Amino acid sequence: MIDKTALTDFIEQQLQDTDLYLVDLTVSPANEITVEIDSDSPVDIDECIALTRKIEEAFNRDEEDYELEVGSAGLTSPFKVLRQYQKNIGNEVEVIARDGRKYTGVLREAGPDSFTILSSEKVKHEGAKRPVMEEVPHTFAYSDVKSTSYLLQF
């Protein structure tokens, strides 16, 4: 079976001087390798092909038979690493909390332990006759979130 740590180190070394970064790497017991990368700009298919070739050169298929798939994190894929959150600051996102509640709003901050979104919500102030729309901040610890993804609106 392919050594996942060695493969991760190799991929991160190959991406080091680019704006590409590793999002996820899975190696199944059947040696099916899936590499998911992202970038601060759109990921080009040629970049995926180039990384595939570098991996195939470094990890000989004659010694260890494996299946390899290198692709970019999809627009609708949940965020998995901090850099994806930072890339999407200012964009509208959908957050599904571990308690099942769903939030939508603009991603405002993303730090090492938590992130904050601003949601437009109806808020009724004491003494007011009707609720008014206000921007309400919601801060989440990453561990309290089931998923966060870019919100596509048509």
How far is residue 154's CA from residue 136's CA, in Å, rounded to a whole number?
24
- Residue 77 is assigned to a structural domain of this protein: no
Report the CATH number at residue 52: 3.30.300.20
Do residues 67 and 87 both lie within one domain? no
- Residue-range definition of the domain harbouring residue 13: 4-72
What are 23-66's pLDDT values in tens digits? 999 999 999 999 999 998 999 999 999 999 999 999 988 888 99
Q: Cα-atom radius of gyration of the chain, to the nearest Å?
A: 20
Sequence-separated (6 or more) residues with CB below 8 Å from residue 69: 32, 33, 34, 35
Do residues 46 and 89 both lie within one domain? no
Given 30, 46, 72, the domain boundary residue is 72
In this predicted structure, the answer to whether residue 144 has a pLDDT above a threshold of 90 is: yes
Do residues 10 and 63 both lie within one domain? yes
- The reported pTM is 0.86
Given 72, 90, 122, the domain boundary residue is 72
Task: Grade residue 153 by pLDDT with cuts at 50, 70 and 90.
Answer: confident
Q: How many domains does the chain divide into? A: 2
- E-only strand ranges, 15-101: 20-27, 32-39, 67-72, 92-97
- Residue 12 is assigned to a structural domain of this protein: yes
Do residues 88 and 145 both lie within one domain? yes
Paired tokens of 79: 């965020």
CB count within 10 Å of CB 115 equals 25
Three-state SS for 47?
helix
Report the CATH number at residue 131: 2.30.30.100
Positive/negative CA dihedral, 137, 148, 87, 154 = negative
**Mean pLDDT, residues 115-141 taken together:** 92
Do residues 58 and 14 both lie within one domain? yes
What are 66-85's pLDDT values in tens digits? 999 999 998 889 999 999 99
